[in-house]
Structure 1
Amino acid sequence: MIDVNALAPHLKNVLWDADIPELPNHYRGKVRDNYDLPGGRRILVASDRLSAFDRILTAIPFKGQVLTQTARYWFEQTKDIVANHVIEYPDPNVVVCKRLTILPVEVVVRDYLAGTTSTSVLSMYKAGQREMYGVRLPDGLHDNAKLPQTIITPTTKADIGDHDAPLSPQEIVERGILPKAQWEEVCDVALKLFARGRELAERRGLILVDTKYEFGVDESGKVFLADEIHTPDSSRYWFRSTYDERVAAGKRPESFDKDFVRTWVSERCDPYKDAVPEIPAEMVLETARVYITAYETITGQPFDLPAQPAPVLERIRANLAKYF
């Protein structure tokens, strides 16, 4: 288990931007910097930026590395189920991948009545809805209860600043968002991926509650798993050992709670309108500790903490020099 004090020397050694002029076709996303290479390849550099409220709040040491390496673990564990976009990992923060046409549906798989957003099944259920995403849920379910069966709750992929909107399988086909056969293939793959994730998480004392997947197709129409898989940012995990007791007591299940920063900001300002106060160092370090703990718990592998801080961008530039 990583101690916060061990992280203190790394507080300022974060990757805010991965601007590398020698690489072509730079696109800066909320948390990733992308470069399109010849030959249908793409470089994805995971920064340490923490995004919320449609803005960048701060940077968390090792966040980009944790997300990249957690996804790497899961891509390896699921490559027998579906092909993925990975070509190689030249750096702990970087994946070189196959450039795909991303399907315009975000595929969210859920095992529990949970969530906080307006499109979560818990929010919709508490508002009185029982028919959602083409699925009918029974009356009498309590917060964070196990669903009668694993369900897929697809949403549109909104532009930055907009909100995802719920979809039903019927709408996906009737509106021509995806052909019926392709949607059925994606659903079959997503359920198999989730079953694998649930099984391996159980071995680590975790419940895989829900997750989102992104799929893309190559020039021949073959479906690939893209983006990330089963990371702390794309998935919700609860601790199995305390789940029953906490739910019985009406408490929120114990999880990798990375929302310290979001909660702290929202208590002090309107984050959509006001200037955000400087995030305290102790909060940044605690968030880094949670990310690293999540990596170690999910993968069962130790996180290799450098003895001394070394500039992240310099390391990445050196490891990507062959692509200049």
Structure 2
Amino acid sequence: MADSTDKARMIAHCLTDAEFEGVPGFSSNKVRDAYQLPDRRRLLISTDRQSAFDHVLAAVPHKGQVLTQTARYWFDVTADVCPNHVLSYPDPNVVLVKDLDMLPLEMVVRGYLTGSTNTSPWPMYARGERVLYGHRFPEGMKKNQPLPEPVITPTTKSAQGGHDVPTTEAEILSTQLVTTEQWHEMARKSLALFARGQQVAAEKGLILVDTKYEFGLDENGVVVVADEIHTPDSSRFWIADSYEERFAAGEEPESLDKEFLRLWITSQCDPYTEPIPPIPDDTIIEFSDKYIALIERVTGQTFNRPDPALSVRARIREALAREFPEYF
């Protein structure tokens, strides 16, 4: 087990930015840095930055590599369900993708009544609301209980730094935020991707609880899944073997996802009204271990941890220089 010095060193060596001079079209969001190339291609680089409750809070060792490689696995095993934006993987943290015309919705699919954020169904339900995102939820449900069937709880995508806003199918269709045809295709593909995800997760001893999908239109107007898919940042995964016992006892499920950090934060403060305290190194390393445990369980392969003596940023720069020498 790593001692406190090793943990601090691991955190200090995290990839916190991936801006490289000379590569065009740089932009940055909470987790990923991106480059808009001139030929309708984009580079997405997953850093180790960690966000929660709309704030970047820490850096988590190996997180960017886990996200990219987890999404790679799921893009591969769902390619027959829905086309995706991937072109190639120049580096374990980097994916080269088609530049899509993104559709302004996040398609959140939920199979269980759970969550800890203000836009999650459980806090709404606990406040007495029963019509959530246009769906009527039964009386008498408990936290972490399966829903009668998966539902889509869409949100409108926020501008940089803003909050996603809950919406409903009726509002989307009445405002034509997307066309009626696009909405139905996004809904169909979202539920199909979720069904495949639940099937594959179950084979790995996991429950895919909920997730979000983002879609865009390719050069032919086809609805394509983009961004990431079934990663621990965008999804909840529970350990199947212990779920029933822990649910019966009123305990939180064993999770391998971002909810671990959200629950730690809400145990320390109200993240919507109070400052979020610094996250201890032990908690960050435990969080990193959960992400690694998830990718190893999903893929059935040992996670290839980078050599701590080598700079991830330098490795990425070398990979980009090989792939795009015109910018270096």
Aligned residue for 1:255, secondary structure, equals coil
- Contact 2:81–2:192 (8 Å) recurs in 1: yes
Aligned residue for 1:243, secondary structure, equals helix
In 2, Cα distance between equivalents of 1:61 and 1:49: 9
- Match in the other structure for 2:171: 171
Superposition pairs of residues 51-62 of structure 1, within 5 angstroms:
51-62=51-62
- Match in the other structure for 1:207: 207
Answering whether residue 140 of structure 2 is matched by residue 140 of structure 1, we say: yes
Answering whether residue 181 of structure 2 is matched by residue 181 of structure 1, we say: yes
Deviation larger for 10-19 or 226-235: 10-19
In 2, Cα distance between equivalents of 1:276 and 1:162: 18
Superposition pairs of residues 88-107 of structure 1, within 5 angstroms:
88-107=88-107
- Contact 1:10–1:309 (8 Å) recurs in 2: no
Aligned length: 322
Answering whether residue 272 of structure 2 is matched by residue 289 of structure 1, we say: no
Q: CA deviation at 1:24?
A: 0.4
Q: CA deviation at 1:244?
A: 0.9
Q: CA deviation at 1:111?
A: 0.8
- Match in the other structure for 1:113: 113
1:248 aligned partner, one-letter code? A
Q: CA deviation at 1:132?
A: 2.2
In 2, Cα distance between equivalents of 1:54 and 1:107: 18
Q: CA deviation at 1:271?
A: 6.2
Deviation larger for 200-209 or 126-135: 126-135
Answering whether residue 97 of structure 2 is matched by residue 71 of structure 1, we say: no
In 2, Cα distance between equivalents of 1:24 and 1:112: 42
Deviation larger for 22-31 or 301-310: 301-310
1:59 aligned partner, one-letter code? A
When residues 205 and 173 of structure 1 are mapped into structure 2, their CA distance, relative to the original with a 3 A threshold, is same
Q: CA deviation at 1:305?
A: 2.0
Superposition pairs of residues 120-269 of structure 1, within 5 angstroms:
120-256=120-256, 258=258
- Calculate the TM-score normalised by the size of structure 2: 0.90
Q: Deviations over 1:195-253 (max 9, x none)?
A: 00000000111111100000011243211100000000000111111111111111111
When residues 275 and 138 of structure 1 are mapped into structure 2, their CA distance, relative to the original with a 3 A threshold, is closer
2:28 aligned partner, one-letter code? R
Deviation larger for 246-255 or 117-126: 117-126
Unaligned 5+ segments in structure 2 are none
Deviation larger for 61-70 or 108-117: 108-117
- Contact 1:45–1:93 (8 Å) recurs in 2: yes
Q: CA deviation at 1:134?
A: 2.4
- Contact 2:26–2:33 (8 Å) recurs in 1: yes
Unaligned 5+ segments in structure 1 are none
Calculate the aligned-residue CA RMSD, in Å. 2.3
When residues 80 and 233 of structure 1 are mapped into structure 2, their CA distance, relative to the original with a 3 A threshold, is same
- Match in the other structure for 2:44: 44
Aligned residue for 2:224, secondary structure, equals strand
When residues 134 and 259 of structure 1 are mapped into structure 2, their CA distance, relative to the original with a 3 A threshold, is closer
- Contact 2:45–2:93 (8 Å) recurs in 1: yes
In 2, Cα distance between equivalents of 1:208 and 1:266: 23
In 2, Cα distance between equivalents of 1:98 and 1:281: 37
Identity %: 50
Deviation larger for 12-21 or 189-198: 12-21
Deviation larger for 54-63 or 195-204: 54-63
- Contact 2:116–2:263 (8 Å) recurs in 1: no
- Contact 2:208–2:238 (8 Å) recurs in 1: yes
Q: CA deviation at 1:156?
A: 1.1
In 1, Cα distance between equivalents of 2:199 and 2:155: 25
2:286 aligned partner, one-letter code? E
In 1, Cα distance between equivalents of 2:257 and 2:2: 15
Q: Deviations over 1:70-116 (max 9, x none)?
A: 00000000001111000000000000000011111110111111111
Aligned residue for 2:12, secondary structure, equals coil
Relative CO higher for 1 or 2, CA cutoff 8 Å, sep ≥ 6? 1
